[in-house]
Amino acid sequence: MSGSGSRLSFWIRTAQALLLAVAVCFSLGAADASARMDNLGHRLMCTCGCVQLLGECDHAGCPSRGEEMAELATGIQTGEADKDILNAFAAKYGATVLAAPRTEGFDLVAWIAPFAVFAAALLGTILLVRRWSGVAGMESRAVVRTQASQLNPEEQERRARIRRDTDTDGGL
């Protein structure tokens, strides 16, 4: 086997070993039992007007937090799905009780737009750079052809050697 082939297989084996190690580690461990209450508490707003998440509302004597937390606990105890609990809250307190837009109707636009913009910008940038690099490549090739035709073989060899010697990357 050639040197480059054995190096390639080494890297493939290393990557496989890393992925296996990660998969094993992912499968270990246990979760916190009250995670659902905590999770939903951070997806709802406190309705007292403090503009805080329900799970983070921190003022003693809050007129809303206790009632909302009790409703949340009841929903979880009766086995309702997260979506149903959130819908019940929205029906009772209005859409502003949800800490984030829903993933349906017009609210879905809130979620899609950022990723759509990012994807469009990313694609546009890649296409633009490829187009520009094509233009730059043609320009530099034209310059090189013009210059090369005016150089003698010795000079061409000297330039090639310098290019090889100074092919250091990095640096601003």
Partner 1 sequence: MATFGSFALLIALALAAYNLLAGAVALRLIATGQPARISPERLADTARRAGIAGFYAVTAAAFALVWSVFANDFSITYIVEHSNRALPGPYKFAALWSGQEGSLLLWAWLLGTYGFVLRLRHKTDVKLYAYAGAILAGVQVFFLLILNFAAPPFSIVKGGIPADGNGLNPLLQYPEMVIHPPMLYLGYVGFTVPFAFALGALMMRYPGEKWIHITRTWTMVTWLFLTCGIFLGMHWAYAVLGWGGYWGWDPVENASFMPWLTGTAFLHSVMMQERRGMMKSWNVWLIFSTFLLTLLGTLLTRAGLVSSVHAFAQSSIGTWFMVFMGIVLAVCIFTYIYQRGHLKTEHHFESLVSRESSFLFNNLVLLTACFIILWGTLFPILSEYVEGTKVTVGAPFYNRVAIPIGLFLLFLTGVGPLLPWRATSFKSVQRNFVIPVIALWATVIVCLVAGVKPWANGEFSSGSFFSLVAFSVGAGVLTAILSEFLRGAAVISKQTGRNLASAMVLLTRRNTRRYGGYIVHIGLVIVVAGLAGAAFNRNVESEMGVHDQMHIGPYTLVCTGFTQDSNANYDSEYALLDVKRDGKTLFQMTPEKRAYHLGGGDQPQTMVAIHSVPGWDLYVVYEGTNPDTGQPIVKAFLNPLVSWIWAGVLVMVLGTFVALAPSINPATAALRAPAPRAVTTEAVLKGGHS
Q: Which residues in this chain contact partner 1 in the complex, by CB under 8 A? A: 18, 21-22, 25-31, 35, 42-43, 45, 50-53, 56-61, 94-101, 105-107, 110-111, 113-115, 117-118, 121-122, 125-126, 128-130, 132-133, 135-137, 139-140, 167, 169-172
Question: Which is nearer to partner 1, 57 or 75 (by Cβ)?
Answer: 57
With CA atoms as reference, report the closest residue to 146 among 136, 158, 157, 138. 138
CB of 139 to partner 1, least distance (A): 7
Find residue 44's DSSP bridge partners. 98
Using alpha carbons, list the distances in angstroms from residue 100 to 20, 21, 53, 62, 135.
37, 36, 11, 22, 45
CB of 142 to partner 1, least distance (A): 13
Question: Which is nearer to partner 1, 153 or 170 (by Cβ)?
Answer: 170
Rg of the Cα atoms in the chain: 31
Place of tokens 């809303």: 64
Question: Which is nearer to partner 1, 126 or 151 (by Cβ)?
Answer: 126
